[in-house]
């Protein structure tokens, strides 16, 4: 096999893993479909040295730097299948090409399934957000909202209230017993009415409109969407998949190896919570773990 490692997914986790393997002078092939999870965001916050940068620009710089190393192949395409062959793996691309390697790292990310409220999807990543640590400071002291989806939405609302006056929009859902007290303690307003649509110019958000046509001012709405694995390859290869807080999560050990020998997973598909910094850190862990396995395995 020409490739020591094949990496499925070339965003933050995948490129971090590839960079460390390239610096270890290993032959690495990165397959990327060009659909990073945070492609809807204009800026990535909290990533050391790149706070406020366009995430696509960060990835472009990383790819350019990675491509300068010998033994690195960056392929644009969709990995549609994989199979174990001997002690290694062969990954199949949608165009029919097959990529063999001794080890494999899954870093293909998640797909978010958003609520069908009119005006929500087009504001995703701009004023409809997931993480207050990533996108909270910019909305400080403005009216904020959290859309109730699971019992953990109460915890999310109490956390978001650190950034500004917060309303928990139940949208017709029922609160779990004992939820009112922590919400009151953190100053969170409870709004039970169903939402008709989100209102605002362009991708900005100015208000939530209810079924009776009344509105409540909101500058940002935080949502914890249900997510799914962006590829079936982990299941194809027999890796254990657990139920995470927001959807399926590939089971890994401290080295980011899955339950299948020689198969690793990094980034949002193998951890909770999620951020660019954690994805990069997990990619580094997977990359260095794979290198040690190649040396001592």
pLDDT value at 291 more than 60: yes
**What are the beta bridge partners of residue 86?**
none
* pLDDT at residue 203, as a whole number: 96
Q: How many helices (H) and strands (E) does the chain have?
A: 7, 19
Contacts of 39 (CB under 8 A, 6+ apart): 55, 56, 125
Q: How does strand 207-210 pair with strand 215-217?
A: antiparallel
CA dihedral 271→277→282→285, nearest 10 degrees, is: -150
Domain locations along the chain: 3-112+225-296, 115-222
Tokens of 189: 């307003």
* pLDDT at residue 246, as a whole number: 85
Q: Confidence band (pLDDT; 50, 70, 90) for 168? A: very high
Mean pLDDT to the nearest integer, 11-30: 98
Q: For 176-188, how does the pLDDT look when each residue is reduced to its tens digit (9 = 90+)? A: 999 999 999 999 9
* pLDDT at residue 85, as a whole number: 95
Query: Whole-angstrom Cα distance, residue 129 to residue 141?
Result: 16
CATH superfamily of 3-112+225-296: FAD/NAD(P)-binding domain (3.50.50.60)
Q: For 53-74, how does the pLDDT look when each residue is reduced to its tens digit (9 = 90+)? A: 999 999 999 999 999 999 999 9
* pLDDT at residue 134, as a whole number: 93
Intrachain domains 3-112+225-296 and 115-222 with the same fold: yes
pTM for the whole thing?
0.94
Tell whether omega for the bond before 46 is within 30 degrees of 0, i.e. cis: no
* pLDDT at residue 241, as a whole number: 98
pLDDT value at 1 more than 80: no
* pLDDT at residue 102, as a whole number: 97
- What average pLDDT does the structure give for the chain? 96
Q: For 121-143, how does the pLDDT look when each residue is reduced to its tens digit (9 = 90+)? A: 999 999 999 999 999 999 999 99
Question: Domain 115-222 falls in which CATH fold?
Answer: FAD/NAD(P)-binding domain (3.50.50)
* pLDDT at residue 227, as a whole number: 95
């Amino acid at each position: 096999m020409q490739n020591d490692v094949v990496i499925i997914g070339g965003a933050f986790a995948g490129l971090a893993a590839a960079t460390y393997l390239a610096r270890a002078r290993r032959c690495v092939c990165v397959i990327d479909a060009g659909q990073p999870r945070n492609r809807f965001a204009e800026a990535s916050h909290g990533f050391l040295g790149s706070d406020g940068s366009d995430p696509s620009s960060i990835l472009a710089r990383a790819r350019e730097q990675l491509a300068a190393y010998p033994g690195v192949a960056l392929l644009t395409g969709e990995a549609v299948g994989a199979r174990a062959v001997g002690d290694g793996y062969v990954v199949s691309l949608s165009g029919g090409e097959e990529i063999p390697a001794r080890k494999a790292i899954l870093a293909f990310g998640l797909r978010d399934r958003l609520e069908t409220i009119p005006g929500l999807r087009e504001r995703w990543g701009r004023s409809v957000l997931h993480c207050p640590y990533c996108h909270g400071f910019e909305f400080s002291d403005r009216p904020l909202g959290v859309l109730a989806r699971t019992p953990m939405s109460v915890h999310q609302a109490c956390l978001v209230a650190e950034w500004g006056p917060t309303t928990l929009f139940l949208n017709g859902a029922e609160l779990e017993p004992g939820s009112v007290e922590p919400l009151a303690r953190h100053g969170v307003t409870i709004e039970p009415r169903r939402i008709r649509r989100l209102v605002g110019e362009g991708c900005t958000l100015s208000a939530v409109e209810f079924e009776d046509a009344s509105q409540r001012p909101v500058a940002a709405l935080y949502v914890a969407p249900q997510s799914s694995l962006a590829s079936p390859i982990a299941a194809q290869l027999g890796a254990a998949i657990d139920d995470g807080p927001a959807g399926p999560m590939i089971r890994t050990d401290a080295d980011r190896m899955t339950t299948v020998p020689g198969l690793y997973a990094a980034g949002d598909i193998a951890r909770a919570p999620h951020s660019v910094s954690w994805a990069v850190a997990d990619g580094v862990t997977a990359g260095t773990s794979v290198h040690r396995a190649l040396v001592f395995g």
